Chains A and B, each alone.
Chain A
Amino acid sequence: MLGYALRRVLSAIPIALIAVTICFFILRLAPGGPFDGERALPPLVLANLRAHYNLDQPLVVQYFIYIWRLLHGDLGPSMVIEGFSVSRLIAIGFPFTLTLALTAFVIATFVGLVAGMIAAVNQNKWPDYVLVLVVMIGVIIPNFLMAALLQLWFGVYLRWFPAGGWVNGSWMHLVLPVTVLAWPHAARISRLMRGSMIEVLGTNYVRTARSKGIGQRLVLARHAIKPALIPVVSYLGPGLSYLLTGSLAVEQIFGLPGIGKYFITAALNRDYGIVLGTTILYMFIILALNLIVDLVYAWLDPKVRYR
């Protein structure tokens, strides 16, 4: 197990490095730069600015400077927002994004598991049909449309929750964004759970347990839930990274102070530092999540380890 874990961690390193390289060069090969404002800067000022951010060096040299700094944990300065380093902007914005995504993740996973289980136990009865409908709505309606509809209904007509914006420490402001984020995730989880639960409930060992006279509740708790969870576990990693990226859009729509706002503005301003820094941060999170899922899988299933 330890050997497998070590091999997996080591193989993730070159992947991360190559992905950083791809991002770096794609950004730099694109036309335009951070200092192409509406008003052209005087050539001398522009040259000084470019020299300050090492933009006057050959691309390959810039690349190595960037990697060297990255290895020291320094994501460089922001080129548009004065006096802010990328790390500091991430430190300001990312905790909020993480809170939003994790809240949605925990709620959605729990709701999805319970709903999927209830639907599987009541297969082809009304709870099952209700679930299919709710899942369909969650999967079909894109998050920006869902956000608009919820804002309109609960924010404007019913006035239950604020339709957008952020007041520090107010959970009311989080209800709608978290719902928008969590719904599709819960829908996918419950669909997976329902499928695998139905399969498990049809197996011989569950029938054996039933024939011994064990009640429904004990059969579920002792025999059915654990094996039914395996396919769901494999979706949790991609699911969380999906929530983290989806959070960017939701923050933009609801006007929340996460990293999403900085990212989209930065991309429009060609602020290489922030765009690259955020992308790399997300990439590392996705890689780490994949790694964790692989390790959990190897732990659950010994066959994977010796492949």
Chain B
Amino acid sequence: MAGITGKDAVLTDYANKLATLDAPKGRSLTQDALRRLTRNKAAVVSIFLLLAIVLIAFIGPYFLPWSYSQVDWTAIRKPPDFDKGHFFGTDQNGRDMLARVLQGTQMSIIVAAVATVVSVSIGVVYGAIAGYFGGRVDAVMMRIVDIMYALPYILFVIILVVMFGRNPVLLFVGIGAIEWLTMARIVRGQTLSLKEKEFVEAAKAGGAKPWTIIMRHIVPNLTGPVVIYATLTIPEIIIAESFLSYLGLGVQEPQTSLGTLISFGAPVAEVLPWMLLAPAAVLVTMLLCLTYIGDGLRDALDPKDR
């Protein structure tokens, strides 16, 4: 019965007052990490710069007067010329360098994105399975990783690309299929400690199957290290792709990538410096941004490490 002693009325008033007051906001771990990330100036600048590069690479070509494979016979080997719309000059075939750099950047970004997704997915699933089951399964699976580590990585990619034809899809898969090794090791290490936690035990007691436990309980908890390592993998993949293209094993004409552009620009850099400078500047800026973002994420997601 309400209101006999008047105590309930007081309590209700108090409860209403509390409800209207601004309660101190709780902060989740993600919000904490975001705050730390936004406080890191280098990382924030890098994120914006990288976003700008990605946007320009994908939208920019629609606003250019020239396409990347179009030949301008009146401007062959010409330095930047704003009247004709060759903002970065032209190459030996009279193709607009800005259009080619944008197309090359697109290609490098696509390769990096696809190869990263491939390598992260393989690495996470493989590492989580090895770590979760442990024992003999773990020993065999990690031995396989050891063996693949012993294969000379770049030779292996060269063999793959040369033997199975130069198609970009293979390039993605080839690079991605090799970059997953370190990811698998990191994930396995984390899983080994995660699987001893109470919530995994609770899930087991609740009758969850191993696959469900791995995908629903273990993998989500790996987000931190996986995100950090993935950001650090992207520059490696971009370098690998541009290196293969540099050797003439990657993307084929008339398509291009930053590595191909640099390999064509390097021999003529003395007389046509814009052919080397433009793609080199974009490549270095992208790699620099990714490194700063990776470092920033590491500091943000893993405060213990600082």
B155 touches A279 (CB 8 A): yes
Q: Assuming A19-B150, A279-B151, A279-B159, what are 16 further A-B pairs, CB within 8 angstroms?
A: A15-B146, A22-B151, A136-B291, A140-B235, A140-B287, A142-B239, A142-B242, A145-B262, A151-B266, A245-B152, A245-B153, A249-B247, A267-B162, A270-B162, A278-B155, A282-B152
Binary A-proximity of B144-178 (CB < 8 A = 1, otherwise 0): 00110111111110111011110000000000000
Q: Are B291 and A139 in contact, with the CB atoms below 8 A?
A: yes
Main secondary structure of the interface of B (DSSP, over half): helix
B284 touches A141 (CB 8 A): yes
Count A/B pairs, Cβ under 8 Å: 107
Chain B minimum-CB-distance residue to A16: B150
- Mask: chain B, 2-44; 1 = CB below 8 Å from A; 0 = not: 0000000000000000000000000000000000000000000
Whether B280 contacts A245 by the Cβ 8 Å rule is no
CB pair B150–A275 under 8 Å, yes or no, is no
User: How long is the Cα–Cα vector from A36 to B243 in the complex, in angstroms?
Assistant: 27
Q: Provide the bound-state CA to CA distance between A143 and B244, in Å.
A: 12
6 tightest A-B CB contacts, nearest first: A30-B163, A148-B266, A282-B152, A267-B162, A142-B239, A144-B246
Interface string of A7-29 (1 = CB under 8 A from B): 00000000110110011001100
Q: Are A26 and B284 in contact (CB under 8 A)?
A: no
B284 neighbours in A (Cβ, 8 Å): 140-141, 145
In the complex, whether B194 has a CB less than 8 A from a CB of chain A is no
Cβ-based interface call for B143 (8 A): yes
CA distance A143 to B242 in the complex (A): 11
Interface size on B, residues (CB 8 A): 38
Partner of B270, one of A16, A141, A156: A156
How many of chain A's residues have a CB under 8 angstroms from any CB in B? 44
**Which of B155, B239, B259, B291 is A282 in contact with, Cβ under 8 Å?**
B155
SS class of chain A's interface: helix, strand, loop or mixed? helix
Checking A27, A252, A290 against B163 with a beta-carbon cut-off of 8 angstroms, the contacting residue is: A27
Q: Does A286 contact B (CB under 8 A)?
A: yes
- Is the beta-carbon distance between A287 and B150 smaller than 8 angstroms? yes
25 contacts between A and B (CB under 8 A): A15-B143, A16-B150, A22-B151, A30-B163, A30-B164, A140-B284, A141-B284, A142-B239, A144-B243, A145-B280, A145-B284, A148-B269, A148-B276, A149-B280, A151-B266, A156-B269, A248-B154, A249-B154, A249-B247, A263-B158, A267-B159, A267-B163, A282-B155, A283-B150, A283-B152
**A190 interface hit (Cβ, 8 Å):** no
